[in-house]
Amino acid sequence: MASAAATSKDVDEVKSAGGGRRKLILLAVPIVLAVIGAGLWFSGILPRLLGLHHEAPAANQAAEALEAVKPVYADVPEIITNLDTGGRRQSYVKLKARLQLAKAADQAVVSAAMPRILDLFQTYLREMHPDELRSSSGTYRLREEMIARANLAARPARIVDILFEELLVQ
């Protein structure tokens, strides 16, 4: 009887060892399939096979539309004006810039409003101190203020940006 009991223990051990392998295979197969599926999905092969891919011509049409819209610029006449020095020695600024417009149709409106734009620019520059224009943050603030003032002066037109060609502070 002892040998029969020993034999049944050996059979149970062999079954449990075989069961461990089966469990490992049953767990490993779905994981491997999931990894392969994820690789196919993120590489773009699986969506293309399933018909879920996006059409490239639509993206190309959008890129061509952006290329077709060329920037439109309006020149601002050179401005030379004095800065607010608080009674000290006079300091001057020389500014030459271009206005970037939203569309070509705005160019006529901006050229008609240019005297008013120049007046607003000179008035703002006369209020500035020389130290404000010597830093990058001051130049950025000057750009933002000038864009806002130009948009007010040329109301139906929209100024997108102002490009400084020359900015000299004496």
Query: Do 74 and 111 meet the contact criterion of CB atoms below 8 Å apart?
Result: yes
Return the CATH number at 116: 3.30.479.30
Q: Is the pLDDT of residue 112 over 60?
A: yes
Q: Which domain holds residue 15?
A: 2-53
Model pLDDT, residue 14: 52
Helices (H), 69-159: 106-112, 114-127, 136-153
Model pLDDT, residue 15: 57
Q: Is the pLDDT of residue 18 over 70?
A: no
My answer on whether 27 and 79 are in the same domain is no
Provide the whole-model pTM.
0.58
Q: What does the pLDDT average to over 41-45?
A: 85
Under the banding of pLDDT at 50, 70 and 90, the label for residue 4 is low
pLDDT digits (tens, 9 = 90+) for 145-164: 999 999 999 988 999 999 99
My answer on whether 44 and 80 are in the same domain is no
Q: How many domains does the chain have?
A: 2
My answer on whether 150 and 97 are in the same domain is yes
- DSSP annotation of 54 reads P
Model pLDDT, residue 148: 94
Instruction: Compute the radius of gyration of the chain from its Cα atoms.
Output: 37
Domain-located, residue 58? no
